[in-house]
Structures are given as structure tokens and as C-alpha cells.
Amino acid sequence: MHKFGRAFLILFSALVAFSAQAQEGGIENLRQTGKAFAKVARAVSPSVAYIQVESRSGGTSQLRSPFDEQWPFDDDFLRRFFGDEFPGIPRPEAPGDEQRVLGQGSGFVFATSKSADSTYIVTNNHVVANADKITVKFQDGSEFDAKVKGGDSKSDIAVIEIEETGLPVLSLGDSAKLEVGEWVVAIGNPFGLSYTLTVGVVSAKGRTRLGISDYEDFIQTDAAINPGNSGGPLVNLDSEVVGMNTAIFSRSGGYMGVGFAIPINLAKVIANQLIEQGEVTRGFLGIVIQPLTRELAQSFDLEETQGILIAQVTEDSPAQKAGLRQGDVIVSYRGQPVKDVGSFRNQVSLTPPGSQERLIIIRDGKKKTISVTIGTLTEDKLVTEGSGPTQNVEELGLTVQTLTDELADMFNVKAGQGVVVTAVAPGSIAAQTGIETGMVITQINREPVKNAEEFKQAVNASRAERRILLLVQKGDMRQYIVLRW
């Protein structure tokens, strides 16, 4: 055989051998991955609770529970974990005669108390809210009656208690260290199919403003989550809980690749307070905040958009006493950068009342450190977000009117401190940026505006830049809005 032919055969044989070896190596890697998931299942499943709930009263909840009179899967946006005609989840009867309503969910062993001979199980508040009877089952067949130790509807976290101490407590990980793309495993009871394991990755972190609960900082995952998974653990490959499965985005009522879990760092703080106090105490600053958009940053002569903008400071609040002002930009809290409104709000709420904390703000282009003593949030402190001369600003599409004493009383402001929007042209610049009839404009370009004539003059003075910064008020809420034309 020709030397070239022999060399070709040797090379071909080597490639075949290498390909076979590589294929075997790939299969072995898959075997090891599968064994890793199996190891997680063995470690975690004994601590996962299958929760059955029974109620004889409808009740209402901010988050839809299995006891709501309106069936959950009639909602086309975020569908709760209690399905429509699923096994073990009968549809509630129509209002009228008292009917027994059943529901189900998941949970996991969070802590034990030897002094009380009790085990504490963490789940979602919407799973057990309004329950008259709660039954908890485990993988080994054991079954217990449970009672609610405490629930927090604002974070959708609850703790239930059973009289047993021999159950394994799950290890908690650090959700702050999770990375997008990292493997995670969800274990729960979808459709009544107990101890089901699904696998996926962390799709995103820090999801807020979803309308699921008041305090949001969700982990997004593509691990399959379905009705009945609610309250179950989301764990990493070290069998550590990194989140609690809470909601899904679905148009069909089932898995569509988008699920949300409460980070365990948030859940454990709430759960510990519920166990120790039976309720949650939250920190309070007394400010209304909004995102620092590029337009707002330019209006405040800032080069970067990192941080959040203070739109309002509550009178006699910790923020006011510390010297914070409307228009300040908060860029750091407790030594950590402030990235968005949702995460900052969560950080403040989890800060123990009475503690003294440092904020770094930007005021008039200069950084300044402010020390503030955190207050206690109570229900009365909760804020989320006529006649007289008029001016029609055609290029903006709105008409404003000077505030008379009667109008000032109506809109809860002081006379001579702003103008009220009396008309907004459909499709105009003002309408597109959210200006509404009844809003009160108190500042233009960070200067007070006292009447409709001053408002018109300020707009005319801004024609060269074709941009104005407004401070508007609606009810008790204030926010900055940039208009461009």
C-alpha cells in the first residue's frame, strides 16, 4: 500500500477512536449530571411537605388563594398554583350555602423547636390563608395536622407548625450568590403528584414590579412549575434551598417556561420573624421614590443613571429628620450600591427599626453622606407610589389652572403652590408621558410654580431645550416627569 494511503488509514482510525472516546466521555458527563440531580432528590425530598387545606369560608386575599370565590385560572396574567379541574383541586361551589373547599400546595421543613416539640414549615401565605384545617404529609407516609404560626400577605410568606421534631431541616443557601444560568431544582406537588422533581436554570434575578406581592425580588427560573408547586423549595446542586416557588406566568394555567421564586435570603428573614414574633416588623424611611431614568438624570445634571430619585419626603418622618430632601438621588445604602426601586424598598423594609444606617446621596451634583435612624412601618404610613385663571399649552397638549382655596382643599395641597391639570389632549405629549386630569404640578425644572401664568412662562423659557422637568402630585403621591417636544 502506498505510504500516503497507510498514513490516511492511521489518521482515520485515530479519528474514529477519538470520536468514540469523546462520545463515551459525553455520555459519562450526562450520567454524572443525572446522578447529581438524583442526589439532590434523595437529600431534599424527605423534607418537602405536601400541604392539603380545607376551608368553609371564601375570604379574600391580595394574592389569589384556593379559597377565593373567583376561580384563579380565570386570570390571563399570573395564574396561581391551584388549577382548573385538576386532580385533588375541586372548583369551589358558587356563593350561597357554605361549602367545603379544598386546595393544596407545597412547603419545606425550615426549623424545629425542641422546647415546644414543634417543627416549622415554610410555605406561601396564599396556600394557607383562611384555612380552617391544614394537613401535612411527607414522603415517608407520615401525616400531621398543622396550624398557622404566622403569615405575611405583603411578601406572601407563611409558617405553619406541626407537633413533631424528628424531621430533617433543609440547609439554606445564599440566594445573593446565585448566578444567571446556574442549575436549580424545583421539588413539590404539582397537580397532586407528590414529590415531583423538575430541573432548569436561573433565568433572571431581581424581578420586581410584577404585581404578585408588595415586596418583590423574584428569582426567575425555567424549571417546570405547575399548580401545586406553590411554597415548595427551589434548590441548588448542593441541596441548599435558594428560593421558594411562588408564581408562574401562564396563558394556559400550566407551565410555559417562566416561573418565579422568592429568594431564600428574603424568605428566611420573614420566616424567622413569624416564628419569633408571630408578625413581621418592617423598617420605614418615609420617602416616595422612583427610577432614575436617563431623561431625569439629564434634568438633574447627572452623568449616570445609577441610583433612585426621591420624589417626596413625608413630614416628620425618619427621612425628613435626617435631612433628606425631594430631588436627592440615593446611590448607596448600608454600603451597597442602590440599583433599582424594588431592591432598595426591600432593603429598607428588612432593616431593623431603630438601627442607624448610612446613605450616600447626590444633591446638586455633589455626593453627601446622610445618617438616618430607621423607623417602624405601620399601616398608616404605607405609601406605594373649579375656577381661576387657566393656561393652554398647545405643544404639550394640556391645560392648567391656578389653584384656588377650594381646589387646593380638593387636591390636598396648599393654595398658591402649584397648578392643577384640567385637560389633557388625547395622544399628546402630556398624555403619552402619563399626565392626567386632576394631577397637580408643583414644580417646573426644580423651581416652584405658583400659578398658571408662571407655568406658561416656565414652558416658554424651556423652548430652546424643548424639555421640561415636572414634579406632579396625584393624591398623596408625587413623581418627576420629563416632557420632550
Same domain, 179 and 260: yes
Neighbours of 42 (CB within 10 A): 10
Strands 183-188 and 196-207: antiparallel
Same domain, 377 and 431: no
So what's the pLDDT on residue 30?
A: 79
Query: Contact at 8 Å (CB) between 318 and 374?
Result: yes
Our count of domains for the chain comes to 3
DSSP class of residue 140 equals T
Same domain, 156 and 273: yes
Question: pTM for the complete prediction?
Answer: 0.66
So what's the pLDDT on residue 22?
A: 57
Spans of the chain, pLDDT less than 50? 58-93, 95, 382-388
So what's the pLDDT on residue 384?
A: 36
Same domain, 401 and 367: no
Same domain, 42 and 133: yes
Same domain, 309 and 200: no
Task: Report the CATH number that the domain containing residue 154 is assigned in CATH.
Answer: 2.40.10.120
Residues contacting residue 441 through CB under 8 Å, at least 6 positions apart: 400, 418, 419, 420, 421, 449, 455, 470, 471, 472, 473
Which of 248, 280, 312 lies at the terminal end of a domain, its last residue? 280
- Bridge partners of 362, per DSSP, are 329, 367
Same domain, 253 and 302: no
Which of 359, 381, 403 lies at the terminal end of a domain, its last residue? 381
Query: Contact at 8 Å (CB) between 194 and 137?
Result: yes
Burial 406-433 (b: 16+ CB within 10 A, else e): ebbeebebeeebbbbbbebeeebbbeeb
Strands 259-263 and 241-249: antiparallel
Task: Report the CATH number that the domain containing residue 302 is assigned in CATH.
Answer: 2.30.42.10
The rounded distance, in Å, linking the Cα atoms of 304 and 362 is 11
In the three-class reduction of DSSP (H, G, I as helix; E, B as strand; rest coil), residue 437 is classed as coil
What pLDDT digit, counting tens, does each position of 129-159 carry? Answer: 888 999 999 998 899 999 999 999 888 999 9
Which of 349, 381, 413 lies at the terminal end of a domain, its last residue? 381
Task: Please state, in angstroms and as integers, the Cα–Cα distance from residue 256 to each residue in 82, 202, 216, 249, following that order.
Answer: 16, 15, 21, 7
So what's the pLDDT on residue 75?
A: 43
What pLDDT digit, counting tens, does each position of 273-305 carry? Answer: 999 998 898 999 988 888 888 888 888 888 888
Write out the catalytic residue numbers: 126, 156, 230
Instruction: Label residue 81 exposed, middle or buried (CB < 10 Å: 0-12, 13-18, 19+).
Output: buried
In which domain, by residue range, is 140 found? Answer: 1-280
Instruction: Label residue 212 exposed, middle or buried (CB < 10 Å: 0-12, 13-18, 19+).
Output: buried
Nearest to 49 by CA among 157, 116, 135, 126: 135
Same domain, 173 and 27: yes
Same domain, 28 and 78: yes
Backbone torsions φ then ψ of 249, nearest 5 degrees: -100, 120
Same domain, 315 and 191: no
Same domain, 398 and 339: no
Cell numbers representing residue 452 in the block: 398658571
Same domain, 270 and 301: no
Strands 48-55 and 133-137: antiparallel
Question: DSSP E strands: which ranges in 374-433?
Answer: 375-376, 390-393, 398-402, 419-424
